[in-house]
A and B are shown apart, each in its own frame.
Chain A
Amino acid sequence: MKKLPTIGFALAGVVAIGLTGCGLGSGTSTDSGSSSDEITGEITFSTLQLKPTFTDYIEGVIDDFETANPGTAVKWIDVPFDGAQEKISTDAQAGTLPDVINLNPNFAQPLEAQGAFVNLDDAMPGLSSKFVTGAWDAFQVPGEDGSFGFPWYLSSEVTMYNSSMFETAGLDPNSPPATYDELFADARTLAGAGADFTGMHPALENRFITDLGRMGVPLMNKAGTEWTFNTPDAEAYVAELADLYQSGVFPPDSLTQDHAKETEAYQAGQIALFPSGANFLTIIEENAPDIAKATNVGPQITSEGGPTNVSVMGLLVPKSSENKATALAFAEYITNAENQLAFSKIVTIFPSVTEALADPYFMDDSDGTVESKARRIAAEQLPDAENIVPVQFDDRIKAIVIGKVQLAMKGDLTPAEALDQAVEEANAVTAK
């Protein structure tokens, strides 16, 4: 007797889910119509893990914006990095994306390709000239017109190294490596010093594809549909990685470890070289004060004539937003020169607005600290930097590519086999 209604209810539920679950359409198709051009009303603004460091800053900017634009209210949500993709994708499916959403180019790309975001080239002509070129270009979809994100903060890799380990190994503690050849030569010397540390950590998932890009290996075709990194240069690089691993320049367990483990290994004094974002200086200071004292910085590792890399965060406004005018105004406000400059003064990150990046603050390292030196080095390399990693390099492609490189480093595949297989399998996924 009780059975029928229960099952009926469940079936009704299934049908309803089936209908809504099968498409994004229901959520995003209600894009225009109700939105007015007036800057007023409430919007939601989501960021990627900016609490707790920037809580005061973000709340301050929101207050200022609300004061300058009476009648507006900004509701701030901060999403932790763990689980962010799941949260964003459920929101996208349900059509409940925030009005202004903070994404990196990789997270943004699948949504951009679906046409989920307002095209800023149309909505705010002339905006692009304010930003660093490499950052602006990061929010374009290969093969399509339009730019979808306000570039926000940037970070740029520098080469951190343990100067006392350099001394132990008989290297000059004041001349860090600048090219890949120097990097690997130094790493070999360091590992051969007979001390209880090795040269460096490969952190493949974080660096492999960027390294290829910096070496001038073409990663994808122009249309962004096919991977092309199985070149002789790339082969030579994989062969080098294999040699470094097998000869113990990388720690034995590093084959399957990621950037977090690299950070840990550097902080534990197990490796001497640590090429990574300048912001990691703060983290080293917090967790391993002794290592921080010995740490010095040099510029990002590059190869002759190759580009430098910049990591970009951006703000995007979904077409589904019911208050696009306010959302765009807020995104423009928070990314303006003044607000970005204030943001960059809290930790070692960088503004994407040219005007702010030109501020003397970034060039002044007269206080002699490693942080200000890192800041100057990074700021100098930013104007010409590119976002090297293609937006299509998502977690799945990454897993495929890194997996093959690991096998090559272990000696199970030759570098050529590994790269050919990686390209083939990655193309199969990208084609879907």
Chain B
Amino acid sequence: MKAQYKWLPWLFLTPALIIALVFTIGPFLNTIVLSFTNSTTLGGGTFNGIQNYLDLANSPQFWISTRNTLLYVAVVVPLLMVLPLLLAVLVERNIPLIGFFRSVFYSPVVASMVVVGLIWSWLLSSDGAVNGLLEALHIIQKPLPFLTDTTLLLLSCMLVTVWKGLGYYMVIYLAALGNVPKELHEAAQVDGAGSGRRLWSITLPGVRPTMLLVGLLGSIAAMKVFAEIFVISSGTAGPGGQARSLVYTIREVGLGLSGEIGYASAMSLALFILTIGFSILYLRSQRTDQLR
């Protein structure tokens, strides 16, 4: 297993590499080139040095986007690492009707974002169910402005991201739970370990690599958040556009017929560099796992 391979890995990797290089990496290298030009959607393309990056540094919108994006990761990722695991444990065992429940729990993942946005903006509206419930419980006196206050709007979007991601990461955890040897659970049970204790000392270590994977995927997804903010705020990113994320801003400046591709490319590169930080953390931790 420790043998050094020469050509065999490349034989296995070639098809995947070709697809990745032709359809993603190549265009992305092109994006890097474009980030040093004043290209627009419809033309341009004169080299303008690091002008786009200077513009970025001076753009309040860029910094708001970056702040919101990092905030998003900080709140959403821990929740996405834990809640779907609990859900997976809940639906793991084959009891009657469990297939039905698993499928229903997956349904938010495939539900159309438009419908999700519609429903959640109803629930979160000032006379919606969430405010109604909070008022009935006397937690609040008057409705909270979930949709018109920047901070609350961001929190609402995070809520939707977690809600929509539950089923997705549950699936990844389910596949991993199958890999935790049943014998360990049985032995622990004989020893009188409670279910909470078994979750902590058997299940968690067993799905550790998967938790890291979910953490990475969750971070990347949170870094790229766009749709939730767009649909919950009906395309305005909150009052004054202050609940914008990086991808939201990238789309705003880069897409459409008068899009500034050069500038948007520079911003994407900034996003890429931020995200690659998480990825390197992930690869590091995996390498340590492998060495153990």
Contact = CB atoms under 8 A, between A and B. Distances in A.
Indicate if A touches B (C-beta under 8 A). Answer: yes
Interface of A: 1-3, 6-7, 9-10, 13-14, 17-18, 21-25, 85-86, 88-89, 92-93, 107, 109-111, 114, 116, 205, 251-253, 255-258, 260-261, 394-396, 399, 402-404, 406-407, 409-410, 412, 432
The size class of the interface chain B forms with chain A is 35 or more
B285 interface: no
A40 B153 CA distance: 57
A134 to B, nearest CB: 23
A92 B10 CA distance: 39
A412 B148 contact: no
A3 B7 CA distance: 9
A112 to B, nearest CB: 10
B147 A253 contact: yes
B253 A396 contact: yes
B261 to A, nearest CB: 9
B236 interface: yes
A255 B153 CA distance: 12
B17 A6 contact: yes
A193 to B, nearest CB: 17
Given A1-B7, A395-B256, 4 more contacts: A23-B44, A255-B147, A260-B234, A410-B148
Given A22-B34, A23-B44, A111-B42, A396 B258 contact: yes
B7 A10 contact: no
Nearest to A258: B234
Nearest to A89: B41
A277 to B, nearest CB: 18
Contacts of A22: 34, 37, 39, 45
Given A13-B21, A14-B30, A396-B253, A24 B239 contact: no
Contacts of B27: 17
A401 to B, nearest CB: 11
A52 B255 CA distance: 27
A308 B183 CA distance: 78
Nearest to B11: A2
A350 B229 CA distance: 36
11 contacts: A1-B10, A2-B11, A10-B25, A17-B30, A21-B39, A24-B42, A111-B42, A205-B236, A253-B147, A256-B238, A257-B234
B26 A14 contact: yes
Given A86-B255, A107-B257, A256 B233 contact: yes
B240 interface: yes
B145 A9 contact: no
B135 interface: no
Contacts of A394: 256-258
B257 A93 contact: no
Interface in B178-206: none
A109 B147 CA distance: 33
Nearest to B10: A2
B43 A25 contact: yes
B34 A21 contact: yes
A407 B145 CA distance: 15
Contacts of B126: 251-253
Nearest 4 Cβ contacts at the A-B interface: A22-B45, A24-B43, A2-B10, A10-B21
Among A1, A92, A399, A402, the one with the most B-chain Cβ atoms within 10 Å of its Cβ is: A399
Given A14-B30, A110-B258, A412-B240, A23 B125 contact: no
